[in-house]
Amino acid sequence: MENGKFIVLEGIDGSGKSSQIGPLVKRLEGLGVPCRADREPTQRPVGALIRQALTGQTPLDPRVIAALYAADRLDHLVNEENGLRSAIDRGITVVSDRYYFSSYAYHSVDVDMDWVIQANALSAQLLRPTVTVFLDVSAEEAMERIRRNRDHEELFEKEDRLRRTRELYFQAFDRLRDVERVAVVDGSGTQEQVAQRIWSAVSPYF
Ligand code: TYD
C-alpha cells in the first residue's frame, strides 16, 4: 500500500487557514483519498500544558514553551493512540493545521531560529510534509480579520508581532529551501478563491 501524504497549512494568526482545512479534506475525499484533518497544538497532555501557558494559567518562559511545542509535535507523531507517522504508513493522508514551520516562525521572536530547528530535528527526520502551504496575508489584513472576531486590546503590539512572525516564516522558508517543499499562496479574497489557490498547490501531489 502506498503511504498517505502529509499536507500542512501554515500562516500567521488571522490568515484564515483553519477554515480552509475542512474544504481541502472534503475535496481530497471526493477524489477517493482516505484523509483526516489534524492540528497542532494537539488535544493531548502536552498540548493541554501549552494551552495553560498561553492563557497565563501556568506562566512559563518562552524557551520552555518552544520546547513544549517540540515535545507536543513528537507526541503527535509517535503516540500509540492516533500517531501521525503510523496513520501515514497505513495510507491515510493527513491535512494538518500547523506543523514545525509554526515553531520556526513563532518562537524565533524569542529564541534563536537554529535552536528551534534543532529542537525539531527528530520530527523532521520522522516526517517531512509532502508540501507546506503558507497562506499569505499581510499583518494589517490579518489584524483586520482578528478585530472582527475579538476585542480591541493591545492592537498595535499584536500587529507588530504578526508582522515579525510573517517575516520569520519567510526567513525559515529561505533557510530550508533545499530540503522543504513550500507553496506560498495568496490568502486574500473570498474563501472560495483561496480554496481554489490551495487546491492548485496541493492537487499535483495526488
Ligand atoms: P492555533 O491553533 O492556530 O490558534 P487558535 O486556534 O487559538 O486560533 O495555534 C495556537 C497558537 O500556537 C498560535 O498563536 C500559534 C502558536 N504556535 C506556536 O507558537 N508554535 C507552534 O509550534 C505551533 C504549532 C503553534
Give me the amino acid identity at 140: E
The whole-angstrom separation of Cα 202 and Cα 166 is 22
User: Taking 60 as the threshold, does the pLDDT of residue 153 lie above it?
Assistant: no
From the CB of 103, is ligand 1 less than 6 Å away? yes
The arithmetic mean of pLDDT across residues 180-185, rounded, is 98
Q: Are strands 35-39 and 131-136 parallel, antiparallel or unpaired?
A: unpaired
Q: What is the DSSP letter of 133?
A: E
Average pLDDT over residues 33-48: 97
Identify which of 13, 145, 158 to mutate to test ligand 1's pocket (most ligand atoms within 8 A of the CB). Answer: 13
Contact criterion met (CB below 8 Å) for 162 and 139:
yes
Q: What tens digit of pLDDT does each residue of 116-151 get?
A: 999 999 999 999 999 999 999 999 999 999 888 876
Q: What distance in Å separates the CA atoms of residue 112 and residue 108, rounded to the nearest whole number? A: 5
CB of 41 sitting under 6 A from ligand 1: yes
Atom index in ligand 1 nearest the CA of residue 69 equals 22
In whole angstroms, how far apart are CA 120 and each of 76, 83, 96, 103? 13, 17, 16, 9
Report the pLDDT value the prediction gives residue 150, as an integer from 0 to 100: 72
Mean pLDDT of the chain: 95
The pTM of the full predicted model, rounded to 2 decimals, is: 0.95
Report the alpha-carbon distance of residue 71 to residue 84 in Å, rounded. Answer: 14
Asked if the bond preceding 41 is cis, omega within 30° of 0, the reply is yes
User: Whose alpha carbon is nearest atom 7 of ligand 1?
Assistant: 13
Closest CA to 135 of 174, 178, 191: 191
Which of 96, 70, 68 minimizes the C-alpha distance to 82? 96
CB 104 within 8 A of CB 168: yes
State pLDDT tens for residues 72-100.
999 999 999 999 999 999 999 999 999 99
Does residue 10 have its Cβ closer than 6 Å to ligand 1?
A: no
